[in-house]
Amino acid sequence: MAGIVSRAQAVWQGDLMQGSGRLSLDSGIATDVPISWATRTQRQSGTTSPEELLAAAHASCYAMALSNVLGKRGTPAQQLDVSAECTFAPADGGFEISTMQLSVRGRVPGISREDFQAAAEQGEQGCPVSNALRGNVRISVSAQLED
């Protein structure tokens, strides 16, 4: 199978502090979404940031990776609820994406809490987004098995 290429575009006008831009995804699911430094550092409704998009990518990728691990173990999930929190913080006179906290709640019949925790950690190790970030961003996983 050939690699799949995903594309997004951003248009920016002006300097960092007063400027603004818009981003669009080639899929068409998001078009002309407003972006700016102020909304990146002060969160405003109706806008997004690179960190929010990275968190969305990580949450969805991790959900798929964990689903795969559980399926291969013979304990497919009924449901996985994954959230990702990406921290954008000052560092060395600039800013960095410092941490990504993955949290998963799962309904998985026939699995123990210990096995679910082990699967959650294995899923993070196999997640392509985790692997792209690894070594640059501190990634942590918390897993909760629901009854």
> Is the pLDDT reported for residue 29 higher than 90?
yes
> Is the pLDDT reported for residue 41 higher than 90?
no
Q: Are residues 129 and 93 in the same domain?
A: yes
Question: Which residue range(s) make up the domain with 121?
Answer: 50-145
Query: How many of the other CB atoms lie within 10 Å of CB of 73?
Result: 16
In a domain, 2, yes or no: no
In a domain, 1, yes or no: no
Q: Are residues 131 and 99 in the same domain?
A: yes
In a domain, 120, yes or no: yes
Least confident range of 20-29, 40-49, 103-112 = 40-49
Q: What is the CATH number of the domain that holds 101?
A: 3.30.300.20
Q: How confident is the model at residue 43 (pLDDT cuts 50, 70, 90)?
A: confident
> Is the pLDDT reported for residue 1 higher than 80?
no
Task: Report the C-alpha gap between 118 and 134 in whole angstroms.
Answer: 19
Average pLDDT on 88-101 reads 95
In a domain, 133, yes or no: yes
Q: Would the pTM count as exceeding 0.85?
A: yes
Average pLDDT for the chain: 95
Q: What's the pLDDT at 2?
A: 85
Task: Report the C-alpha gap between 49 and 3 in whole angstroms.
Answer: 26
> Is the pLDDT reported for residue 44 higher than 80?
no
In a domain, 3, yes or no: no
List 81's β-bridge partners, or say none.
105
Whole-Å CA distances, 57 to 30, 33, 63 = 14, 16, 10
Q: Are residues 54 and 114 in the same domain?
A: yes
Burial 32-66 (b: 16+ CB within 10 A, else e): ebebbbebbeeeeeebbbebbbbbebbbebbbbbb
Q: What's the pLDDT at 47?
A: 84
Q: How confident is the model at residue 42 (pLDDT cuts 50, 70, 90)?
A: confident
Tell me the three state secondary structure of residue 125: helix
Q: What's the pLDDT at 117?
A: 98
